[in-house]
Each structure stands twice: as structure tokens, then as C-alpha cells.
């Protein structure tokens, strides 16, 4: 058993290739477990003993590596995100430079050249992502089914699939929601009613990529997401809470369509949203 961290996946890959059964756990989970055993100090000896005890007492799931195609897809989608962030950074620098007190033509030319180069690389990366998806006809068919949702693009779908390993290790919706950081944290005791929020202790890349699609499905008035947005907004009077609820439902619908391997239909989406709304618990 090893903790998620620097070099963990390389170690997991090595042990897996050597024929060992490997379990990967989050650092905060092992940390709280060691505290529950009464360990106050932190040394290699204590950590080793605690992790060994945890592996013996708990039924930990066995780690399995990503398939080569999903691994390639994850590399491409993360590279696309890095290119986007770099382009935005250079665009902000160019804007600040152009509206500064004094402009330098060399700086302007270099920034414009960098932005142009990044935009070209983004187009190439999008093409590579589509080619990677098309390598597997079954995978491409599922992506096309999910892409029938108006306002949800190929890049968003590919990112969710890559970050979840095609939902390979998930058995239900709750696990998917928790993995993505959309699970609800409540704070109440007796008469005290604290703030209810999402945990954000999950894969931030999924939350990031679903940010714009949530805006798009509401702007394009895609039902039942528009109904969900209006219902949460009327109750909370906070737009971002309503958009967060839409993001969560988009993720749930992607998971449902992926498992059922069927295109988007209003009746299916309505069943998913109505049957697992969670907005009352998320935004009381």
C-alpha cells in the first residue's frame, strides 16, 4: 500500500509489473487513521507500521493501472488545460502591456507571437484528442452519445472520461460525485446550523472543465438543467450555487449515459435530475 504523492504512481506501476497487489490511498485518509491509533509522532517507522496495520484491518481496493488509451487521453487533456492556462496568462500580460503608460514594440510582438503559437497548439491538441477517442469505436460511440447534450463539448467529455478512467472503478453515483468534490459537507449540531457546502476534496480538473458547460446549458435553455438552475437560484439567490448544482447534474448525467450507452433524452435527464436531485441537501 502506498499514499498518493510524488513518485507514488511510478512505485505503483513498478510493484504492479512485479506481480504485487497494490492499494493506493489518499494521504489525509492514512493520516487520520494513524491519529485514531494514538500515534502522535511522525517517523518512517511509525508510518510503516500504521500503513501495514491499515492494510490488514481494512478491505482496501486493489489498484489497477490505466489502459494505454485512457492514459494517452489523460496526457492530452491535461496538456490542453496547461496550454489554455498559458494562453490566458500571456493574453493578460499583453492586455496590461498595451494599456500601460508606455508600450514596447518588441514585447508586444513577442507576446502576440506566443499567443498565436499557443492557439495553434490548442487546435493540434484538440485534433489529437479526437483521434485518440476514435481509435476505439466503442469509446467513440459513447462519446457521441454524451455529446448529444447541447452545450457539452468533446473536450469536456474527454476530460471527464480521462480523469475517471472511463468510470471503471466506480460502482454508483455517490462515488463519482465524491471523487469529483461535489459531495456535501454539512455543519449542524443541535440548534446550530452552519454553512452547507461542497467539499471540493476531489478531482479539481473535473470541476474546472464542467464550469463552462454549466453556463452553456443554462444559456441555451437546455431542459431540465434550466429548471434546476432556476429552482436553486430562487431558493438561494446565489447564481454560483445554482451553477454548481448544474455542474453536479451534468456529471451525473454523463455517468448515466456512459453506463447505459444511450444518447441524451429529455426523459432520461429528467429521471436523473428528479431521482437524485440533492439540491435540498446541497442548498437548504
Looking at the structure, do residues 52 and 98 belong to the same domain, yes or no? no
CA distances from 67 to 30, 77, 86, 139, 263 (A): 27, 15, 29, 13, 25
Residues 116-151 have pLDDT tens digits of 999 999 999 999 999 999 999 999 999 999 998 999
Number of domains in the chain: 3
Residue 225 near residue 217, CB atoms below 8 Å: yes
The whole-angstrom separation of Cα 197 and Cα 187 is 9
Number of H helices and E strands in the chain, helices first, is 14, 6
- pLDDT the model gives residue 188: 79
* pLDDT of 187 higher than 90: no
The whole-angstrom separation of Cα 252 and Cα 176 is 8
Looking at the structure, do residues 248 and 196 belong to the same domain, yes or no? yes
Inside any domain, residue 154: no
Inside any domain, residue 124: yes
Looking at the structure, do residues 273 and 180 belong to the same domain, yes or no? yes
Looking at the structure, do residues 189 and 221 belong to the same domain, yes or no? yes
- pLDDT the model gives residue 263: 82
DSSP letter at 276 equals T
Provide the residue range defining the domain that includes 220. 164-282
Say which residue the cell 498518493 belongs to: 4
**123: three-class secondary structure by DSSP:** helix
- pLDDT the model gives residue 185: 84
Looking at the structure, do residues 230 and 261 belong to the same domain, yes or no? yes
Q: What is the mean pLDDT of the chain?
A: 87
Residues 55-104 have pLDDT tens digits of 888 888 888 887 889 999 999 999 999 999 999 999 999 999 999 888 99
- pLDDT the model gives residue 40: 82
Amino acid at each position: 500500500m502506498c499514499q498518493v504523492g510524488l513518485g507514488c504512481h511510478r512505485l505503483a506501476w513498478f510493484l504492479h509489473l512485479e506481480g504485487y497487489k497494490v492499494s493506493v490511498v489518499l494521504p489525509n485518509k492514512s493520516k487520520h487513521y494513524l491519529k485514531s491509533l494514538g500515534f502522535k509522532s511522525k517517523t518512517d517507522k511509525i508510518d510503516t507500521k500504521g500503513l501495514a496495520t491499515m492494510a490488514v484491518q481494512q478491505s482496501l481496493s486493489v489498484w489497477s493501472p490505466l489502459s494505454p488509451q485512457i492514459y494517452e487521453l489523460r496526457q492530452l487533456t491535461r496538456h490542453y488545460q496547461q496550454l489554455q492556462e498559458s494562453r490566458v496568462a500571456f493574453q493578460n500580460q499583453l492586455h496590461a502591456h498595451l494599456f500601460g503608460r508606455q508600450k514596447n514594440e518588441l514585447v508586444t510582438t513577442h507576446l502576440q507571437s506566443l499567443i498565436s503559437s499557443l492557439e495553434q497548439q490548442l487546435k493540434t491538441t484538440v485534433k489529437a484528442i479526437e483521434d485518440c477517442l476514435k481509435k476505439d469505436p466503442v469509446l467513440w460511440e459513447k462519446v457521441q452519445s454524451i455529446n448529444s447534450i447541447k452545450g457539452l463539448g468533446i473536450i469536456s467529455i474527454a476530460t471527464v472520461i480521462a480523469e475517471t478512467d472511463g468510470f471503471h472503478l466506480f460502482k454508483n453515483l455517490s462515488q463519482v460525485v465524491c471523487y469529483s468534490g461535489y459531495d456535501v459537507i454539512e455543519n449542524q449540531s443541535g440548534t446550530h446550523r452552519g454553512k452547507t457546502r461542497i467539499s471540493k476534496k476531489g478531482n479539481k480538473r473535473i470541476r474546472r472543465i464542467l464550469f463552462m458547460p454549466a453556463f452553456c446549458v443554462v444559456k441555451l435553455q437546455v431542459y431540465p438543467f434550466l429548471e434546476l438552475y432556476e429552482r436553486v437560484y430562487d431558493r438561494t439567490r446565489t447564481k454560483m450555487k445554482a451553477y454548481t448544482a448544474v455542474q453536479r447534474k451534468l456529471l451525473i448525467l454523463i455517468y448515466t449515459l456512459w453506463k447505459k450507452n444511450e444518447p441524451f433524452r429529455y426523459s432520461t435527464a429528467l429521471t436523473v435530475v428528479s431521482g437524485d436531485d440533492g439540491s435540498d441537501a446541497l442548498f437548504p
